Structure 1
């Protein structure tokens, strides 16, 4: 179900700053398994990280994150629990019918927060919202967009 961008109407009066919007049509389960697919994998035992490159696609519940490369940081040396994912290059985040694009993204798995930076574009149906930085809470399905926020709202859309 597409969530409306009704609160985005304020943007005309506030072109810079922050804007709270709905994201994903549903909240995600941050405790769900994280599935990663990529062309290549390099593991660094010394710092407890893994780097996936080439057509990286990460899934967790209804959320999908795609990028050129993703660095996975583990919470412990046994590499059994993921702390964060740092995606770079042509980052796309999809949840429900909402999609966001950016240059980079950091997903903090335990908190369920995804921070996208660099020419962020959020698309919800025909509505488009842009900014420099967007923080998405997958636990409650909200997002906050900051830095020269702009929007295009299509009349008659819910």
Structure 2
């Protein structure tokens, strides 16, 4: 009989944090140890879910995912399909490359769709890329294309939150 936690942690968290495109993460991230801290874990190997609760912090290299509750789902092949972090300020961050700034995102809900390499930041959503910031009720960030889509309303959220952004001008080299 296989140990149910090991495949979920290995396939799930590595997939969650690094996805399938090593060019989008620091080279050392894939070989960095995975650290998970939580007050509780409820694992259902048959359903393919792991639910961490209580000040959850998942870290691997430059990647971090935090929330009051983090649920990881995988398919029948054991591959991670979805990771959802919730809390007053759920958080995700990644340093795409050594010469690029840290990408940081917050929301009351953070959803990572692995196959699509897409992050949803829902309710009090905020995304920082270098000096650029985006705020609204709902932000969607496509990791591979580095595309941001923002809306003032999020499904299931009553309060509208106007979209705001601050874009830093590109620095010109020399006169």
Q: TM-score range by the shorter chain?
A: 0.5 to 0.7
TM-score w.r.t. length of structure 1? 0.65
Structure with greater strand share of residues: 1
Residue 54 in structure 1 maps to residue 54 in structure 2: yes
Displacement of 1:62: 4.2
Does the Cα contact within 8 Å between 1:67 and 1:87 map onto a contact in 2?
yes
Structure 2 unmatched ranges of 5 or more: 1-22, 96-101, 153-161
Displacement of 1:72: 1.0
Structure with greater helix share of residues: 2
Residue 66 in structure 1 maps to residue 63 in structure 2: no
* Alpha-carbon displacement from aligned partner over 1:128-157 (angstroms, at most 9, x marks no partner): 321111111122333222222113456x77
Q: Structure 2 vs 1, CA of residues 85 and 150 (structure 1 numbering), >3 Å: closer, same or farther?
A: same
Following the alignment from structure 2 to structure 1, what is the Cα–Cα distance between the partners of residues 111 and 164?
A: 22
Residue 86 in structure 1 maps to residue 84 in structure 2: yes
Does the Cα contact within 8 Å between 1:38 and 1:53 map onto a contact in 2?
no
Structure of greater relative contact order (alpha carbons < 8 Å, 6+ residues apart): 1
Structure 1 unmatched ranges of 5 or more: 1-25
Does the Cα contact within 8 Å between 2:35 and 2:60 map onto a contact in 1?
no
* Alpha-carbon displacement from aligned partner over 1:90-135 (angstroms, at most 9, x marks no partner): 2112123231210001111122111110011223445432111111
| Residue 121 of structure 2: aligned partner | 116
* RMSD over aligned Cα atoms: 2.9
